[in-house]
Structure 1
Protein backbone atom coordinates (compact mmCIF):
# COMPACT_ATOMS: atom_id res chain seq x y z
CA UNK A 1 0.00 0.00 0.00
CA UNK A 2 2.94 2.27 0.62
CA UNK A 3 4.16 1.77 -2.95
CA UNK A 4 0.67 2.51 -4.23
CA UNK A 5 0.30 5.69 -2.20
CA UNK A 6 3.76 6.93 -3.22
CA UNK A 7 3.06 6.12 -6.92
CA UNK A 8 6.16 3.92 -7.09
CA UNK A 9 6.85 1.35 -9.80
CA UNK A 10 7.05 -2.02 -8.03
CA UNK A 11 6.49 -5.73 -8.63
CA UNK A 12 5.56 -8.18 -5.87
CA UNK A 13 5.09 -11.93 -5.64
CA UNK A 14 2.94 -13.39 -2.88
CA UNK A 15 4.11 -16.93 -2.10
CA UNK A 16 2.21 -19.20 0.27
CA UNK A 17 0.77 -22.71 0.53
CA UNK A 18 -2.90 -23.28 -0.22
CA UNK A 19 -5.26 -22.13 2.50
CA UNK A 20 -3.02 -19.43 4.00
CA UNK A 21 -5.22 -16.51 2.91
CA UNK A 22 -3.81 -15.32 -0.43
CA UNK A 23 -7.26 -14.88 -1.95
CA UNK A 24 -8.48 -12.88 1.07
CA UNK A 25 -5.44 -10.63 0.74
CA UNK A 26 -6.15 -9.96 -2.94
CA UNK A 27 -9.82 -9.22 -2.24
CA UNK A 28 -8.87 -6.78 0.49
CA UNK A 29 -6.42 -4.98 -1.82
CA UNK A 30 -8.94 -4.80 -4.64
CA UNK A 31 -11.65 -3.49 -2.31
CA UNK A 32 -9.28 -0.71 -1.23
CA UNK A 33 -8.20 0.24 -4.74
CA UNK A 34 -11.05 -0.50 -7.14
CA UNK A 35 -13.11 2.38 -8.61
CA UNK A 36 -15.87 2.37 -11.26
CA UNK A 37 -14.67 2.70 -14.90
CA UNK A 38 -16.59 2.96 -18.16
CA UNK A 39 -13.98 1.54 -20.50
CA UNK A 40 -11.42 -1.25 -20.17
CA UNK A 41 -8.56 0.80 -21.63
CA UNK A 42 -9.33 3.72 -19.33
CA UNK A 43 -9.53 1.30 -16.42
CA UNK A 44 -6.05 -0.03 -17.23
CA UNK A 45 -4.67 3.49 -17.67
CA UNK A 46 -6.06 4.65 -14.34
CA UNK A 47 -5.33 1.47 -12.39
CA UNK A 48 -2.47 1.72 -9.92
CA UNK A 49 -2.14 -1.94 -9.05
CA UNK A 50 -2.72 -5.21 -10.92
CA UNK A 51 -3.18 -8.48 -9.00
CA UNK A 52 -2.50 -11.68 -10.94
CA UNK A 53 -3.54 -14.75 -8.97
CA UNK A 54 -2.19 -18.25 -9.71
CA UNK A 55 0.64 -16.75 -11.74
CA UNK A 56 2.63 -19.96 -11.34
CA UNK A 57 0.24 -21.66 -13.75
CA UNK A 58 0.85 -19.22 -16.62
CA UNK A 59 3.18 -19.40 -19.62
CA UNK A 60 5.82 -16.67 -19.78
CA UNK A 61 4.31 -15.44 -23.06
CA UNK A 62 1.26 -14.24 -21.10
CA UNK A 63 3.40 -12.04 -18.88
CA UNK A 64 5.31 -10.65 -21.86
CA UNK A 65 2.07 -9.87 -23.72
CA UNK A 66 0.61 -8.08 -20.70
CA UNK A 67 3.83 -6.10 -20.27
CA UNK A 68 3.73 -4.88 -23.88
CA UNK A 69 -0.01 -4.14 -23.73
CA UNK A 70 0.26 -2.02 -20.57
CA UNK A 71 3.30 -0.18 -21.92
CA UNK A 72 1.39 0.67 -25.12
CA UNK A 73 -1.76 1.78 -23.29
CA UNK A 74 0.03 3.96 -20.74
CA UNK A 75 2.84 5.19 -23.03
CA UNK A 76 5.19 4.68 -20.09
CA UNK A 77 8.43 2.82 -20.82
CA UNK A 78 8.57 0.89 -17.55
CA UNK A 79 7.81 -2.76 -16.74
CA UNK A 80 4.05 -3.28 -17.13
CA UNK A 81 3.59 0.38 -18.01
CA UNK A 82 4.64 1.50 -14.56
CA UNK A 83 1.85 -0.43 -12.81
CA UNK A 84 2.46 -1.99 -9.44
CA UNK A 85 2.22 -5.73 -10.13
CA UNK A 86 1.29 -8.23 -7.42
CA UNK A 87 1.77 -11.83 -8.59
CA UNK A 88 0.54 -14.64 -6.40
CA UNK A 89 0.64 -18.41 -6.35
CA UNK A 90 2.30 -21.42 -4.85
CA UNK A 91 5.07 -23.23 -6.70
CA UNK A 92 4.38 -26.24 -4.49
CA UNK A 93 0.81 -26.26 -5.74
CA UNK A 94 1.37 -26.56 -9.46
CA UNK A 95 -0.94 -29.42 -10.48
CA UNK A 96 -1.68 -31.92 -9.14
CA UNK A 97 -2.76 -30.54 -5.76
CA UNK A 98 -2.75 -32.99 -2.87
CA UNK A 99 -3.38 -31.50 0.55
CA UNK A 100 -0.93 -32.40 3.35
CA UNK A 101 1.06 -34.64 0.95
CA UNK A 102 4.68 -34.84 -0.12
CA UNK A 103 4.32 -31.95 -2.65
CA UNK A 104 5.05 -29.51 0.16
CA UNK A 105 8.27 -31.38 0.89
CA UNK A 106 9.16 -31.31 -2.80
CA UNK A 107 8.44 -27.60 -3.02
CA UNK A 108 10.53 -26.87 0.07
CA UNK A 109 13.39 -29.03 -1.24
CA UNK A 110 13.15 -31.51 1.62
CA UNK A 111 12.10 -34.64 -0.31
CA UNK A 112 14.75 -37.27 -0.98
CA UNK A 113 15.86 -37.51 -4.61
CA UNK A 114 17.28 -40.29 -6.77
CA UNK A 115 19.48 -40.03 -9.87
CA UNK A 116 19.64 -36.65 -11.66
CA UNK A 117 17.79 -34.94 -8.79
CA UNK A 118 14.57 -36.72 -9.74
CA UNK A 119 11.88 -37.29 -7.11
CA UNK A 120 10.24 -40.71 -7.01
CA UNK A 121 6.45 -40.60 -6.78
CA UNK A 122 4.79 -42.38 -3.89
CA UNK A 123 3.33 -45.79 -4.66
CA UNK A 124 -0.12 -44.59 -3.60
CA UNK A 125 -0.04 -41.99 -6.40
CA UNK A 126 0.98 -44.34 -9.21
CA UNK A 127 -0.95 -46.75 -11.44
CA UNK A 128 1.47 -49.15 -13.19
CA UNK A 129 1.22 -48.79 -16.97
CA UNK A 130 -0.54 -51.74 -18.55
CA UNK A 131 -2.03 -50.07 -21.63
CA UNK A 132 -5.85 -50.02 -21.78
CA UNK A 133 -6.18 -51.74 -18.42
CA UNK A 134 -4.37 -48.87 -16.67
CA UNK A 135 -6.66 -46.28 -18.29
CA UNK A 136 -9.72 -48.20 -17.10
CA UNK A 137 -8.21 -48.38 -13.62
CA UNK A 138 -7.72 -44.62 -13.60
CA UNK A 139 -11.33 -43.97 -14.64
CA UNK A 140 -12.63 -46.41 -12.03
CA UNK A 141 -10.53 -44.70 -9.35
CA UNK A 142 -11.70 -41.18 -10.19
CA UNK A 143 -15.30 -42.11 -11.08
CA UNK A 144 -16.21 -45.12 -8.92
CA UNK A 145 -19.64 -46.63 -9.64
CA UNK A 146 -20.18 -44.08 -12.42
CA UNK A 147 -23.32 -45.78 -13.71
CA UNK A 148 -25.02 -45.10 -10.35
CA UNK A 149 -24.22 -41.37 -10.36
CA UNK A 150 -24.87 -40.14 -13.90
CA UNK A 151 -27.53 -37.69 -12.65
CA UNK A 152 -25.63 -36.70 -9.51
CA UNK A 153 -24.26 -33.18 -10.15
CA UNK A 154 -22.30 -33.09 -6.89
CA UNK A 155 -20.56 -36.36 -7.75
CA UNK A 156 -19.59 -35.04 -11.18
CA UNK A 157 -18.24 -31.61 -10.21
CA UNK A 158 -16.08 -33.07 -7.44
CA UNK A 159 -14.08 -35.19 -9.90
CA UNK A 160 -11.76 -34.46 -12.80
CA UNK A 161 -8.91 -36.06 -14.70
CA UNK A 162 -6.12 -33.62 -15.60
CA UNK A 163 -4.12 -34.49 -18.71
CA UNK A 164 -1.24 -32.74 -20.52
CA UNK A 165 -2.73 -32.88 -24.04
CA UNK A 166 -6.13 -32.30 -25.69
CA UNK A 167 -5.76 -35.65 -27.42
CA UNK A 168 -5.82 -37.39 -24.03
CA UNK A 169 -8.80 -35.27 -22.99
CA UNK A 170 -10.80 -36.35 -26.05
CA UNK A 171 -9.87 -40.01 -25.55
CA UNK A 172 -10.88 -40.02 -21.87
CA UNK A 173 -14.08 -38.07 -22.51
CA UNK A 174 -15.17 -40.55 -25.16
CA UNK A 175 -14.40 -43.57 -22.96
CA UNK A 176 -16.22 -42.12 -19.96
CA UNK A 177 -19.28 -40.97 -21.95
CA UNK A 178 -19.55 -44.42 -23.53
CA UNK A 179 -19.85 -45.86 -20.03
CA UNK A 180 -23.16 -44.05 -19.49
CA UNK A 181 -26.01 -46.61 -19.68
CA UNK A 182 -28.56 -44.42 -21.50
CA UNK A 183 -29.12 -43.93 -25.22
CA UNK A 184 -27.43 -41.10 -27.11
CA UNK A 185 -29.66 -38.21 -28.15
CA UNK A 186 -28.67 -35.33 -30.43
CA UNK A 187 -29.75 -31.85 -29.27
CA UNK A 188 -29.57 -28.95 -31.74
CA UNK A 189 -28.43 -25.54 -30.53
CA UNK A 190 -29.68 -22.18 -31.83
CA UNK A 191 -28.94 -18.73 -30.45
CA UNK A 192 -31.99 -16.79 -31.62
CA UNK A 193 -35.77 -16.50 -31.06
CA UNK A 194 -38.84 -16.64 -33.27
CA UNK A 195 -39.29 -12.85 -33.45
CA UNK A 196 -35.69 -12.20 -34.44
CA UNK A 197 -35.82 -9.25 -36.91
CA UNK A 198 -32.96 -10.80 -38.92
CA UNK A 199 -35.18 -13.83 -39.72
CA UNK A 200 -32.53 -16.28 -38.57
CA UNK A 201 -35.30 -18.49 -37.26
CA UNK A 202 -36.66 -19.31 -40.73
CA UNK A 203 -36.70 -23.03 -41.71
CA UNK A 204 -34.29 -22.58 -44.61
CA UNK A 205 -31.73 -21.10 -42.22
CA UNK A 206 -32.29 -23.75 -39.59
CA UNK A 207 -31.67 -26.47 -42.16
CA UNK A 208 -28.24 -25.02 -42.87
CA UNK A 209 -27.07 -25.18 -39.28
CA UNK A 210 -24.26 -27.68 -38.77
CA UNK A 211 -23.52 -27.06 -35.07
CA UNK A 212 -24.57 -30.11 -33.07
CA UNK A 213 -24.34 -30.66 -29.32
CA UNK A 214 -24.44 -34.30 -28.24
CA UNK A 215 -25.80 -35.12 -24.80
CA UNK A 216 -26.80 -38.25 -22.95
CA UNK A 217 -30.38 -38.35 -21.67
CA UNK A 218 -31.60 -40.11 -18.59
Structure 2
Protein backbone atom coordinates (compact mmCIF):
# COMPACT_ATOMS: atom_id res chain seq x y z
CA UNK A 1 0.00 0.00 0.00
CA UNK A 2 3.01 2.32 0.21
CA UNK A 3 3.20 5.02 -2.47
CA UNK A 4 6.23 4.79 -4.73
CA UNK A 5 7.17 8.35 -3.80
CA UNK A 6 8.01 7.10 -0.30
CA UNK A 7 10.49 4.55 -1.68
CA UNK A 8 11.99 7.17 -3.99
CA UNK A 9 12.43 9.59 -1.07
CA UNK A 10 14.23 6.88 0.93
CA UNK A 11 16.38 6.15 -2.12
CA UNK A 12 17.44 9.82 -2.44
CA UNK A 13 18.17 9.99 1.30
CA UNK A 14 20.46 6.95 1.26
CA UNK A 15 22.26 8.17 -1.86
CA UNK A 16 22.86 11.56 -0.24
CA UNK A 17 24.13 10.12 3.05
CA UNK A 18 26.30 7.38 1.54
CA UNK A 19 27.86 9.63 -1.11
CA UNK A 20 29.51 11.70 1.64
CA UNK A 21 31.72 8.68 2.37
CA UNK A 22 31.87 7.10 -1.08
CA UNK A 23 31.01 9.38 -4.04
CA UNK A 24 30.72 6.37 -6.37
CA UNK A 25 27.43 5.22 -4.75
CA UNK A 26 25.60 8.45 -5.55
CA UNK A 27 24.26 6.78 -8.69
CA UNK A 28 23.53 3.41 -7.03
CA UNK A 29 20.02 2.37 -6.00
CA UNK A 30 19.50 3.11 -2.28
CA UNK A 31 23.13 4.22 -2.11
CA UNK A 32 24.33 0.68 -2.76
CA UNK A 33 22.50 -0.81 0.24
CA UNK A 34 20.57 -4.05 -0.33
CA UNK A 35 16.90 -3.52 0.52
CA UNK A 36 14.27 -6.22 1.06
CA UNK A 37 10.75 -5.16 0.03
CA UNK A 38 7.81 -7.39 0.96
CA UNK A 39 4.30 -7.19 -0.39
CA UNK A 40 1.51 -8.70 -2.47
CA UNK A 41 0.31 -6.88 -5.59
CA UNK A 42 -2.99 -8.77 -5.35
CA UNK A 43 -3.84 -6.76 -2.25
CA UNK A 44 -5.18 -3.22 -1.93
CA UNK A 45 -2.98 -0.67 -3.67
CA UNK A 46 -1.78 2.76 -2.49
CA UNK A 47 -4.63 5.15 -1.68
CA UNK A 48 -4.54 8.16 -4.01
CA UNK A 49 -7.40 10.51 -3.00
CA UNK A 50 -9.73 11.66 -5.75
CA UNK A 51 -7.78 9.87 -8.48
CA UNK A 52 -8.71 7.13 -10.90
CA UNK A 53 -7.37 3.75 -11.92
CA UNK A 54 -4.41 5.04 -13.92
CA UNK A 55 -3.08 7.18 -11.06
CA UNK A 56 -3.59 4.40 -8.50
CA UNK A 57 -1.65 1.89 -10.60
CA UNK A 58 1.02 4.53 -11.29
CA UNK A 59 1.54 5.00 -7.54
CA UNK A 60 2.77 1.40 -7.13
CA UNK A 61 6.44 0.64 -6.51
CA UNK A 62 6.40 -1.57 -9.63
CA UNK A 63 5.89 1.60 -11.74
CA UNK A 64 8.88 3.38 -10.22
CA UNK A 65 12.32 3.69 -11.85
CA UNK A 66 13.61 1.75 -8.81
CA UNK A 67 11.84 -1.38 -10.02
CA UNK A 68 14.44 -1.86 -12.79
CA UNK A 69 17.01 -2.61 -10.08
CA UNK A 70 14.76 -5.06 -8.21
CA UNK A 71 14.97 -8.85 -8.35
CA UNK A 72 11.57 -10.49 -7.89
CA UNK A 73 11.18 -13.54 -5.67
CA UNK A 74 7.80 -15.19 -6.23
CA UNK A 75 6.36 -16.64 -3.00
CA UNK A 76 4.09 -19.52 -3.94
CA UNK A 77 2.76 -21.19 -0.77
CA UNK A 78 0.13 -19.51 1.41
CA UNK A 79 1.16 -20.23 4.99
CA UNK A 80 -2.00 -18.71 6.47
CA UNK A 81 -4.42 -21.27 5.01
CA UNK A 82 -4.52 -24.54 6.95
CA UNK A 83 -3.65 -27.79 5.22
CA UNK A 84 -6.37 -30.25 4.20
CA UNK A 85 -9.17 -27.68 4.29
CA UNK A 86 -12.33 -28.60 2.36
CA UNK A 87 -12.80 -27.31 -1.20
CA UNK A 88 -15.42 -24.78 -2.23
CA UNK A 89 -18.21 -25.41 -4.73
CA UNK A 90 -18.76 -23.08 -7.69
CA UNK A 91 -21.48 -24.00 -10.19
CA UNK A 92 -21.24 -27.65 -9.17
CA UNK A 93 -17.45 -27.97 -9.50
CA UNK A 94 -15.14 -28.50 -6.53
CA UNK A 95 -12.24 -26.04 -6.32
CA UNK A 96 -9.43 -26.15 -3.73
CA UNK A 97 -9.87 -23.15 -1.43
CA UNK A 98 -6.31 -21.85 -1.84
CA UNK A 99 -6.67 -22.02 -5.66
CA UNK A 100 -9.92 -20.04 -5.50
CA UNK A 101 -8.29 -17.36 -3.31
CA UNK A 102 -5.38 -17.02 -5.76
CA UNK A 103 -7.76 -16.87 -8.73
CA UNK A 104 -9.57 -13.95 -7.07
CA UNK A 105 -6.29 -12.11 -6.52
CA UNK A 106 -4.99 -12.77 -10.04
CA UNK A 107 -8.32 -11.91 -11.67
CA UNK A 108 -8.53 -15.31 -13.39
CA UNK A 109 -11.74 -16.45 -11.67
CA UNK A 110 -14.64 -16.78 -14.13
CA UNK A 111 -16.66 -13.56 -14.29
CA UNK A 112 -20.09 -12.44 -15.46
CA UNK A 113 -21.25 -9.03 -16.70
CA UNK A 114 -24.48 -7.68 -15.19
CA UNK A 115 -24.18 -3.93 -15.61
CA UNK A 116 -22.54 -3.39 -19.03
CA UNK A 117 -19.12 -2.63 -17.59
CA UNK A 118 -16.11 -2.31 -19.86
CA UNK A 119 -14.94 -5.65 -18.49
CA UNK A 120 -17.00 -8.29 -16.62
CA UNK A 121 -16.27 -8.29 -12.90
CA UNK A 122 -19.04 -10.27 -11.15
CA UNK A 123 -17.96 -13.60 -9.64
CA UNK A 124 -20.04 -16.47 -8.28
CA UNK A 125 -19.83 -16.85 -4.49
CA UNK A 126 -19.14 -20.47 -3.46
CA UNK A 127 -22.10 -22.23 -1.87
CA UNK A 128 -20.14 -23.03 1.30
CA UNK A 129 -19.44 -19.38 2.15
CA UNK A 130 -22.57 -17.70 0.77
CA UNK A 131 -24.90 -16.27 3.43
CA UNK A 132 -28.43 -15.27 2.46
CA UNK A 133 -29.36 -11.78 3.60
CA UNK A 134 -32.76 -12.53 5.12
CA UNK A 135 -35.17 -9.79 6.20
CA UNK A 136 -32.48 -7.82 8.03
CA UNK A 137 -29.02 -8.31 6.46
CA UNK A 138 -27.16 -6.57 9.30
CA UNK A 139 -28.79 -8.75 11.95
CA UNK A 140 -28.14 -11.85 9.86
CA UNK A 141 -24.42 -11.10 9.60
CA UNK A 142 -24.03 -10.21 13.27
CA UNK A 143 -25.91 -13.36 14.33
CA UNK A 144 -23.64 -15.48 12.15
CA UNK A 145 -20.35 -14.11 13.49
CA UNK A 146 -21.25 -12.95 17.01
CA UNK A 147 -24.28 -15.12 17.76
CA UNK A 148 -22.84 -16.33 21.11
CA UNK A 149 -21.44 -13.00 22.27
CA UNK A 150 -23.56 -12.95 25.42
CA UNK A 151 -21.92 -15.99 27.00
CA UNK A 152 -18.52 -15.85 25.24
CA UNK A 153 -17.55 -12.17 25.51
CA UNK A 154 -15.29 -12.84 28.51
CA UNK A 155 -13.07 -15.16 26.46
CA UNK A 156 -10.33 -13.32 24.56
CA UNK A 157 -9.97 -16.12 21.99
CA UNK A 158 -13.62 -15.76 20.96
CA UNK A 159 -13.21 -12.04 20.24
CA UNK A 160 -9.76 -12.36 18.66
CA UNK A 161 -10.81 -15.10 16.25
CA UNK A 162 -13.68 -13.24 14.56
CA UNK A 163 -14.33 -10.01 12.71
CA UNK A 164 -16.77 -8.54 10.20
CA UNK A 165 -15.19 -6.84 7.17
CA UNK A 166 -16.93 -4.31 4.97
CA UNK A 167 -15.81 -1.71 2.38
CA UNK A 168 -16.87 1.61 3.96
CA UNK A 169 -16.57 3.26 7.37
CA UNK A 170 -20.31 3.96 7.54
CA UNK A 171 -21.01 0.21 7.36
CA UNK A 172 -18.33 -0.42 10.00
CA UNK A 173 -20.06 1.99 12.38
CA UNK A 174 -23.45 0.34 11.86
CA UNK A 175 -22.05 -3.12 12.63
CA UNK A 176 -20.03 -1.96 15.65
CA UNK A 177 -23.02 -0.17 17.17
CA UNK A 178 -25.22 -3.25 16.72
CA UNK A 179 -22.71 -5.64 18.34
CA UNK A 180 -21.71 -3.20 21.07
CA UNK A 181 -25.30 -2.87 22.28
CA UNK A 182 -25.53 -6.67 22.52
CA UNK A 183 -22.53 -6.75 24.87
CA UNK A 184 -23.61 -6.71 28.52
CA UNK A 185 -22.31 -3.94 30.73
CA UNK A 186 -22.39 -0.17 31.05
CA UNK A 187 -21.85 1.91 27.93
CA UNK A 188 -19.11 4.51 28.40
CA UNK A 189 -19.15 7.57 26.10
CA UNK A 190 -16.01 9.63 25.54
CA UNK A 191 -16.27 12.92 23.64
CA UNK A 192 -13.33 14.60 21.98
CA UNK A 193 -12.07 18.14 22.34
CA UNK A 194 -11.96 19.67 18.84
CA UNK A 195 -10.34 22.92 17.85
CA UNK A 196 -8.79 24.79 14.97
CA UNK A 197 -4.99 24.73 15.09
CA UNK A 198 -4.04 28.33 15.88
CA UNK A 199 -0.62 28.04 14.23
CA UNK A 200 -2.17 27.16 10.86
CA UNK A 201 -5.31 29.31 10.88
CA UNK A 202 -6.60 32.86 11.05
CA UNK A 203 -8.93 34.43 13.65
CA UNK A 204 -11.71 34.23 11.07
CA UNK A 205 -11.52 30.41 11.02
CA UNK A 206 -12.68 30.18 14.63
CA UNK A 207 -15.83 32.08 13.65
CA UNK A 208 -16.41 30.12 10.44
CA UNK A 209 -16.06 26.73 12.12
CA UNK A 210 -17.89 26.62 15.47
CA UNK A 211 -17.31 23.79 17.92
CA UNK A 212 -20.58 22.02 17.07
CA UNK A 213 -19.56 21.86 13.42
CA UNK A 214 -16.09 20.51 14.21
CA UNK A 215 -17.66 17.81 16.39
CA UNK A 216 -19.79 16.63 13.47
CA UNK A 217 -16.81 16.09 11.15
CA UNK A 218 -15.60 12.59 10.34
CA UNK A 219 -12.16 11.95 8.90
CA UNK A 220 -10.60 8.75 7.61
CA UNK A 221 -8.06 7.38 10.09
CA UNK A 222 -9.32 9.61 12.90
CA UNK A 223 -11.68 8.60 15.74
CA UNK A 224 -15.11 10.22 15.76
CA UNK A 225 -16.03 12.98 18.20
CA UNK A 226 -18.16 10.55 20.22
CA UNK A 227 -16.53 7.25 21.12
CA UNK A 228 -18.64 4.49 22.70
CA UNK A 229 -16.97 1.56 24.48
CA UNK A 230 -17.74 -1.07 27.09
CA UNK A 231 -15.53 -3.23 29.27
CA UNK A 232 -14.91 -6.34 27.16
CA UNK A 233 -15.22 -4.64 23.77
CA UNK A 234 -12.38 -5.07 21.25
CA UNK A 235 -10.60 -1.96 20.01
CA UNK A 236 -7.95 -1.22 17.38
CA UNK A 237 -5.21 1.36 17.67
CA UNK A 238 -5.20 4.06 14.99
CA UNK A 239 -1.72 5.41 15.82
CA UNK A 240 1.74 4.09 16.72
CA UNK A 241 1.94 4.75 20.48
CA UNK A 242 4.84 2.55 21.59
CA UNK A 243 6.08 -0.10 19.09
CA UNK A 244 8.46 -1.60 21.69
CA UNK A 245 5.44 -2.44 23.84
CA UNK A 246 3.43 -3.71 20.87
CA UNK A 247 1.26 -0.60 20.60
CA UNK A 248 1.25 -0.04 16.84
CA UNK A 249 -1.30 1.14 14.32
CA UNK A 250 -3.55 -1.88 13.74
CA UNK A 251 -2.93 -3.60 17.08
CA UNK A 252 -6.11 -5.08 18.55
CA UNK A 253 -6.87 -4.95 22.28
CA UNK A 254 -9.73 -5.66 24.68
CA UNK A 255 -10.91 -2.94 27.07
CA UNK A 256 -10.51 -4.09 30.69
CA UNK A 257 -11.30 -0.87 32.56
CA UNK A 258 -12.69 2.56 31.69
CA UNK A 259 -11.42 5.60 33.57
CA UNK A 260 -12.50 9.17 32.98
CA UNK A 261 -9.36 10.13 31.06
CA UNK A 262 -7.67 6.78 30.50
CA UNK A 263 -8.43 3.33 29.07
CA UNK A 264 -6.93 0.12 30.41
CA UNK A 265 -6.73 -2.66 27.81
CA UNK A 266 -5.23 -6.12 27.22
CA UNK A 267 -3.30 -6.71 23.98
CA UNK A 268 -4.69 -9.63 21.97
CA UNK A 269 -2.53 -9.61 18.80
CA UNK A 270 1.18 -9.38 18.02
CA UNK A 271 4.10 -10.48 20.21
CA UNK A 272 2.82 -8.81 23.39
CA UNK A 273 -0.39 -10.84 23.82
CA UNK A 274 -1.95 -10.61 27.31
CA UNK A 275 0.10 -7.55 28.31
CA UNK A 276 -1.94 -4.88 30.10
CA UNK A 277 -1.46 -1.35 28.81
CA UNK A 278 -2.94 2.11 29.25
CA UNK A 279 -4.16 4.31 26.40
CA UNK A 280 -4.30 8.09 26.89
CA UNK A 281 -6.03 10.78 24.87
CA UNK A 282 -3.72 12.39 22.32
CA UNK A 283 -3.93 15.26 19.87
CA UNK A 284 -4.47 14.15 16.27
CA UNK A 285 -4.84 15.92 12.95
CA UNK A 286 -6.46 14.38 9.86
CA UNK A 287 -4.21 13.33 6.99
CA UNK A 288 -6.82 14.68 4.57
CA UNK A 289 -5.66 18.19 3.65
CA UNK A 290 -8.73 19.12 1.60
CA UNK A 291 -10.48 20.74 4.57
CA UNK A 292 -9.84 24.53 4.50
CA UNK A 293 -8.63 24.74 8.11
CA UNK A 294 -6.33 22.53 10.19
CA UNK A 295 -8.53 20.60 12.64
CA UNK A 296 -7.06 19.24 15.87
CA UNK A 297 -8.91 16.51 17.77
CA UNK A 298 -7.98 15.29 21.25
CA UNK A 299 -9.38 11.79 21.67
CA UNK A 300 -8.36 8.20 22.35
CA UNK A 301 -6.60 6.92 19.17
CA UNK A 302 -8.82 3.85 18.91
CA UNK A 303 -11.85 2.45 17.13
CA UNK A 304 -14.16 -0.35 18.24
CA UNK A 305 -13.32 -3.30 15.97
CA UNK A 306 -16.07 -5.87 15.99
CA UNK A 307 -16.05 -4.75 12.37
CA UNK A 308 -13.34 -3.05 10.32
CA UNK A 309 -12.84 -1.92 6.76
CA UNK A 310 -11.28 -4.35 4.31
CA UNK A 311 -8.30 -2.00 3.88
CA UNK A 312 -7.70 -1.90 7.65
CA UNK A 313 -7.78 -5.71 7.90
CA UNK A 314 -4.58 -6.13 5.86
CA UNK A 315 -2.01 -8.00 7.95
CA UNK A 316 -4.65 -9.55 10.22
CA UNK A 317 -5.32 -13.30 10.55
CA UNK A 318 -8.83 -14.18 11.76
CA UNK A 319 -10.40 -17.63 11.95
CA UNK A 320 -14.00 -16.43 11.47
CA UNK A 321 -14.62 -13.62 8.96
CA UNK A 322 -17.93 -12.21 7.79
CA UNK A 323 -17.74 -10.13 4.61
CA UNK A 324 -20.68 -7.72 4.76
CA UNK A 325 -21.42 -6.05 1.41
CA UNK A 326 -24.35 -3.61 1.41
CA UNK A 327 -22.69 -2.36 -1.78
CA UNK A 328 -20.07 -4.18 -3.89
CA UNK A 329 -16.38 -3.46 -3.37
CA UNK A 330 -14.98 -0.48 -5.27
CA UNK A 331 -11.23 -1.02 -5.57
CA UNK A 332 -8.55 -3.47 -6.65
CA UNK A 333 -7.85 -6.38 -4.31
CA UNK A 334 -10.54 -5.81 -1.70
CA UNK A 335 -12.28 -9.16 -2.21
CA UNK A 336 -8.91 -10.96 -2.23
CA UNK A 337 -7.83 -9.26 1.01
CA UNK A 338 -11.10 -10.15 2.75
CA UNK A 339 -11.19 -13.85 1.82
CA UNK A 340 -7.46 -14.33 2.44
CA UNK A 341 -7.72 -13.26 6.11
CA UNK A 342 -9.17 -16.66 7.09
CA UNK A 343 -7.37 -19.95 7.66
CA UNK A 344 -10.15 -22.14 6.26
CA UNK A 345 -13.37 -21.76 4.23
CA UNK A 346 -15.22 -23.04 7.30
CA UNK A 347 -14.63 -19.64 8.90
CA UNK A 348 -15.75 -17.47 5.96
CA UNK A 349 -19.23 -16.08 5.24
CA UNK A 350 -20.09 -13.57 2.51
CA UNK A 351 -23.36 -11.63 2.62
CA UNK A 352 -24.45 -9.36 -0.23
CA UNK A 353 -27.44 -7.05 0.00
CA UNK A 354 -28.80 -7.84 -3.46
CA UNK A 355 -30.64 -5.04 -5.21
CA UNK A 356 -31.37 -7.21 -8.26
CA UNK A 357 -32.56 -10.82 -8.20
CA UNK A 358 -30.26 -11.77 -11.09
CA UNK A 359 -27.23 -10.70 -9.02
CA UNK A 360 -28.12 -12.97 -6.06
CA UNK A 361 -25.15 -15.17 -5.22
CA UNK A 362 -22.72 -12.92 -7.12
CA UNK A 363 -20.47 -10.04 -6.12
CA UNK A 364 -17.92 -7.78 -7.78
CA UNK A 365 -14.23 -8.65 -7.80
CA UNK A 366 -12.22 -5.68 -9.09
CA UNK A 367 -8.72 -6.46 -10.38
CA UNK A 368 -6.39 -4.03 -12.16
CA UNK A 369 -4.58 -6.54 -14.35
CA UNK A 370 -1.94 -4.05 -15.47
CA UNK A 371 -0.45 -4.01 -11.97
CA UNK A 372 1.00 -7.48 -12.63
CA UNK A 373 3.18 -6.28 -15.52
CA UNK A 374 6.94 -6.52 -14.97
CA UNK A 375 6.55 -9.08 -12.16
CA UNK A 376 8.51 -11.92 -13.74
CA UNK A 377 9.99 -13.98 -10.87
CA UNK A 378 13.67 -14.78 -10.61
CA UNK A 379 13.27 -17.50 -7.95
CA UNK A 380 10.51 -19.12 -5.95
CA UNK A 381 10.02 -19.32 -2.22
CA UNK A 382 7.43 -19.73 0.50
CA UNK A 383 4.91 -17.08 1.54
CA UNK A 384 4.96 -16.43 5.27
TM-score for both structures, normalised by structure 2: 0.30
Q: TM-score, normalised by structure 1?
A: 0.49
Structure number with higher strand proportion: 2
Whichever of the two has the greater Rg, that structure is 1
